[in-house]
Structure 1
Amino acid sequence: MTPDLECTGLTKRFGQTTAVENVSFAVPPGSFFSILGPSGCGKTTIMRMIAGFLDPSEGDIRIKGRSVLDVPPNKRPVNMVFQHLALFPMMNIADNIGYGLRRAGLAKSEIDRKTGEALERIGLPGIGSRKVDELSGGQKQRVAIARCMVLEPDVLLLDEPLGALDLKLRERMKVELKALQAAFDTTFVYITHDQSEALVMSDNIAVMNQGRFEQMGTGRDLYYRPDTAFVAGFVGDTNRWRGRVEKEQGKSIQLRTESGMILRGATHGRALHAGDHADIFVRPEAIRIAHSKDELAHFDNLISGHVTSMLFNGAASRVLVCGAEEGDEIEVNLPQSGEFAALKKGAAVHIGWAGDQGNCFAAGAT
């Protein structure tokens, strides 16, 4: 099956600075693909090259199997939704959605039909006569997407479109955007620095760092089986320790951390040997907490300590635990049973986790 979008060896230099270096990926038809990374990693530069606003220094961009390097931005079968939606306040909703259709010279009856269908698809039928400033933030977001989708692009590019929304609306729009993508059955390419947005909405995600892709895969792949230390630290919350490998035991190692803790973790095929410096990453939800040490005796890693802080967040509440002899604070999810609801700062507790829950990488590896 021909991908809707395929980039091969994509590179962009600005003078002596390389913003994007040898990036290749393919996006299947009708899928939701996200590029996730910190500010300045090059993800917007990729988006602008796909849209035609920047020319790549090297590489090719193909849409539906055809190179578009020689196609100007206004002729490419793509459209773009920006963080600042740029709706026209002097126009009503129907005129905003139909703007591109009018520019294309369609008859009024056809514009009215397509506009009405778009309003139905975004769940806002019958509001065509309303003004932009009468809409909520989420409704404006949907109108901006409808304005793009009536032009029937092969690929819709979304440049951090939820960044200007408040937290609660942003959470709701994650679900709505995924539903809209399915309703229009169009390929979405989405860039964001917010891991939650990427994990919730995407079929596949590329994690980007310093101009290159660190890893591509499903959200589950990235979260549970990161390929690099950067991905392990960037995607999801995690505890991280650095230390020296004391023992190598098949696909696992024993690590002495800089604070003196002895931890066991999994290498998942990565080459780590006794004497190497390494990092180990453990998710807060992988760690169990108990009042009695005996309850955790079956775990490879077992630490006794005390609570240094309570992090209340409803069902996602956590505690910070400091080992009795070490200075490291360890973030631990609290079980939803309520057994630890009355836990106080300074309380003695025990924590433990399985060795295969710790992802180990050579120190400094990315």
Structure 2
Amino acid sequence: MTPDLECLTLTKRFGDTLAVDEVSFDVPRGSFFSILGPSGCGKTTVMRMIAGFLEPTSGDIRIRGRSVLDTPPNKRPVNMVFQHLALFPMMNIADNIGYGLRRAGLPRDQIARKVDEALDRIGLPGIGQRKVDELSGGQKQRVAIARCMVLEPEVLLLDEPLGALDLKLRERMKVELKSLQAAFDTTFVYITHDQSEALVMSDHIAVMNEGRFEQVGSGQDLYYRPATAFVAGFVGDSNRWPGQVERVEGDALILRTDSGLILRGDRHDRALSPGDRAEIFVRPEAIRIAPSAEDLAGFDNRLSGTVTSLLFNGADSRILVKDAGSTEEIAVNLPQSGEFAHLARGAQVHIGWAAAQGNCFAAGAA
């Protein structure tokens, strides 16, 4: 099946600045695709080129197999939801949703029917006569999406639409957006700097950095099998140690970290060899806490240390541990069983993890 969206070696320069550097990707029909990256990485520039607000320096943009480079924004089969929703306060909800349909010249009865169908799909039936300022933030978000979806775009572009919402509403809207995408069965292309948004909602995610895509894959791929040091450090939380490779043993390498630890990790970068500078990344939840060193006998990496901080966050609580021979603190998630809930600053603990949980990359690649 032809993808809904294809970007082929898409490049954008602003004078001497290379904002987007030969980015290529495709978005399968009916999927939720996110572009995730830090501010200034080029993700908004990609979005604006797809929408037609910016002209690429080179490359092609195809929607369902047809190039749209020569198609003006108002003629492209896409629509866009911005961070600031720009609902019209002088109009009621029905008029807001039907605005684009009126501009297209549809009959009044057809507009009314499409507006009612859209309100049903977003779970807000019967509110057409209400004013914008009578809605909650989440309801306004859904109305903004409905206003786009009644025009039946082949691709809906969403430019950090949750950024202006408070934390609790943002968490709820992650689930609602995914549900809305399924209800409309339309391809969503979403940009964000918030990794949680991308991981929760997306079928596929592209991690962008300095104008290029570092990795494209599912949330599980990016989290558990990062392809680069940047992805390992940007997606999720990780302990990160730079150091020097002491030796290589098959798929594993032994790293002497700058902080004084000897760690064994998985050699993701096959070019690494003894003497090379490298970095190892280990997730806090991959590290096990045990009451004694004997309980960690099966782990490749075993350390004893002192708890320097307890970071309480309910089910996501963790401790920071400092090994006697190191200058760094190690973040360790507390098990949800509550077995170690009593730990406090100054407690002595034993921690360990398998070599396969440590992703190693050449230093300076992030």
Question: What's the TM-score bracket when you normalise by the shorter of the two chains?
Answer: over 0.9
What is the rounded CA distance, in whole Å, between the counterparts of 1:76 and 1:60 in structure 2? 14
SS in 1 for 2:350: strand
What is the rounded CA distance, in whole Å, between the counterparts of 2:186 and 2:338 in structure 1? 44
* Cα offsets for 1:139-189 (capped at 9, x unmatched): 000000000000000000000000000000000000000000000000000
SS in 2 for 1:8: strand
Residue aligning to 1:321? 321
* Cα offsets for 1:307-327 (capped at 9, x unmatched): 000000101110000001211
| Cα distance, 1:269 vs structure 2 | 5.4
| Cα distance, 1:83 vs structure 2 | 0.2
* Letter in structure 2 aligned against 1:128: G
* Letter in structure 2 aligned against 1:200: V
* Letter in structure 1 aligned against 2:134: E
Q: Is the 8 A contact 2:281 2:360 kept in 1?
A: yes
* Cα offsets for 1:311-358 (capped at 9, x unmatched): 001011100000012111000000111111111100000100000100
* Letter in structure 2 aligned against 1:94: A
Residue aligning to 2:361? 361
Residue aligning to 1:348? 348
**1:78 and 2:111 correspond:** no
Any residues of structure 2 matched to 1:322-341 within 5 Å, and which? 322-341=322-341
Q: Is the 8 A contact 1:251 1:269 kept in 2?
A: no
Q: Is the 8 A contact 2:243 2:278 kept in 1?
A: yes
* Cα offsets for 1:195-232 (capped at 9, x unmatched): 00000000000000000000000000000111100000
Residue aligning to 1:39? 39
Structure 1 runs of 4+ with >3 Å offset? none
Residue aligning to 1:276? 276
What is the rounded CA distance, in whole Å, between the counterparts of 1:175 and 1:132 in structure 2? 23
| Cα distance, 1:270 vs structure 2 | 2.4
SS in 2 for 1:315: helix
What is the rounded CA distance, in whole Å, between the counterparts of 1:255 and 1:229 in structure 2? 16
Q: Is the 8 A contact 2:269 2:362 kept in 1?
A: no
Any residues of structure 2 matched to 1:248-259 within 5 Å, and which? 248-259=248-259
Q: Is the 8 A contact 1:308 1:321 kept in 2?
A: yes
Residue aligning to 1:266? 266
TM-score, with structure 2 as normaliser: 0.99
What is the rounded CA distance, in whole Å, between the counterparts of 2:75 and 2:360 in structure 1? 48
Q: Is the 8 A contact 1:121 1:184 kept in 2?
A: yes
Residue aligning to 1:111? 111
**1:312 and 2:309 correspond:** no
RMSD: 0.6
Which sections of structure 2, spanning at least 5 residues, go unmatched? none
* Letter in structure 2 aligned against 1:83: Q
Residue aligning to 1:13? 13
* Letter in structure 1 aligned against 2:11: T
Residue aligning to 2:215? 215
What is the rounded CA distance, in whole Å, between the counterparts of 2:336 and 2:191 in structure 1? 33
Residue aligning to 1:227? 227
What is the rounded CA distance, in whole Å, between the counterparts of 1:262 and 1:28 in structure 2? 44
SS in 2 for 1:88: coil
SS in 1 for 2:118: helix
Residue aligning to 1:180? 180
| Cα distance, 1:3 vs structure 2 | 0.6
TM-score, with structure 1 as normaliser: 0.99
| Cα distance, 1:291 vs structure 2 | 1.7
Paired-residue identity, %: 80
* Cα offsets for 1:36-66 (capped at 9, x unmatched): 0000000000000000000000000000100
What is the rounded CA distance, in whole Å, between the counterparts of 1:348 and 1:79 in structure 2? 57
Any residues of structure 2 matched to 1:41-190 within 5 Å, and which? 41-190=41-190
